[in-house]
Copies of this chain bind each other. A is one copy, B any other.
Amino acid sequence: MKNAFYAQSGGVTAVINASACGVIETARKHKGKIGKVYAGRNGIIGALTEDLIDTSKESAKAIAALRHTPSGAFGSCRYKLKGIEEHRAQYERLIEVFKAHNIGYFFYNGGGDSADTCLKVSQLSESMGYPIVAVHVPKTVDNDLPITDNCPGFGSVAKYIAVSTLEATFDVASMAKTSTKVFVLEVMGRHAGWIAAAGGMAATKDMDLPILILFPEIAFDQKKFLSRVEAMVKKHGYCTVVVSEGVKGADGKFLSDQGLRDAFGHAQLGGVAPVIASIVKENLGLKYHWGVADYLQRAARHIASKSDVAQAYATGKAAVELALKGRNSVMPAIKRVSDKPYKWTIEVAELKNVANKEKFMPRDFITKDGFGITEKCRKYLAPLIQGEDYPPYKNGLPQYVRLKNVGVKKKLKQFKI
């Protein structure tokens, strides 16, 4: 009977731990077929350095609490394994560690890069005579994985951004007469505008709100932008601009890299919101405020989407069930069965079709003028932000769990990464 290895990869989300919960609880239900679940401390680095966490030391209650705890309970990392040709030693080290700890299942919870790593581990382990069943668990707030209808992690960010945009827009609306007229909210999404699109969900047929979206897929046109802001402020008295961190100018450069400098001439990093706000101020003379949601958006488990939590858990569970059926180099993907009522099921995607592919917003999800979302986009997004899944509270605070994260005794020599 083989043990399993589970690791979290890349930026964490409000529900990646719900996937961990799905993996561990399902493995525990199949105790006759699967041994212990070892987690990598700080992701794949934990495997390379043989820094494994024995999840069997955690109580059932603690594991259940992962379902409502944001962030990565075992630590994650931004560390991409390179190609096998360049860094064969790293892959061989992984297999060596897995062999030393009798690991036969590899569950990797991440985005496109980790899907690729997962595939390579499976292939190399086969060729090294120690075959490992490798299953990828999808996770990314960016919603940019192919095949799966949506990615666990995205729905909750989308809900947070939709709710926050609605609330901030109400705020501006009430202050606009004498104060702020334009509110700029910066959201994540370096390449794809899915998260920014969610800001558009704050406006509905019953709730006409002046919201303008800047997508990374659409080159920033300052003149057009200013004229739209001006028109909205003229009509409504105010407007909200939801801007993706990845918005680029016609020159292909990020707007956030416009060269902000402090008093000493040092370059300032990041923040497209202040750049947009000052464009508004310089050209239209309108009073503005700006916010940058940053980690708040992807950690906001307190306002997680119920469908997102359910899907994060379900993909974790499905990964173990697939592995036990001997399915290798695959990823459980979400298939949308119907929009209204929202129904979905889990299908199986081959990793070779998932790895290293990015899914952008289809052009017909963005309105012709480039500043809004279409009905088609609304139809896609609506079910993903559906339902609330509140964590338990004590003394006014969510009761998030911190695991003991007991290490497994090392058996091998050190390995320098």
Contact = CB atoms under 8 A, between A and B. Distances in A.
A319 interface: no
Contacts of A360: none
A162 interface: yes
A274 B42 CA distance: 27
Contact of A168 (B171, B271, B295, B397): B295
A289 interface: yes
A382 B400 contact: no
A183 interface: yes
Copies in the complex: 2
Contacts of A42: 177-178
Interface in A239-279: 258-263, 266, 268-271, 273-275, 277-278
A168 B204 CA distance: 30
B183 A295 contact: yes
A200 to B, nearest CB: 12
Contact of A303 (B77, B162, B302, B387): B302
A16 to B, nearest CB: 9
A166 B207 CA distance: 32
Contact of A79 (B174, B178, B273, B298): B178
A167 B78 contact: no
A113 to B, nearest CB: 13
A294 interface: yes
B258 A268 contact: no
A291 interface: yes
A308 to B, nearest CB: 10
A190 to B, nearest CB: 13
Given A179-B78, A183-B295, A262 B289 contact: no
B290 A291 contact: no
Interface in A42-75: 42-43, 45, 69-75
A414 interface: no
B291 A294 contact: yes
A8 B398 CA distance: 32
Given A271-B274, A293-B291, A299-B170, A396 B386 contact: yes
Contacts of A180: 295
A12 interface: yes
Contacts of A273: 292
Contacts of A291: 292-296
Contacts of A175: 11-12, 72, 75-78
Interface of A: 8, 11-12, 14, 42-43, 45, 69-79, 159, 162-164, 166-168, 170-180, 183, 185, 201-202, 204, 207, 258-263, 266, 268-271, 273-275, 277-278, 281-282, 289-296, 298-303, 305, 382, 385-388, 390, 393, 395-398, 400, 402
14 contacts: A42-B177, A71-B170, A71-B171, A162-B396, A166-B398, A167-B296, A168-B294, A168-B299, A171-B299, A258-B262, A258-B263, A305-B396, A385-B395, A385-B397
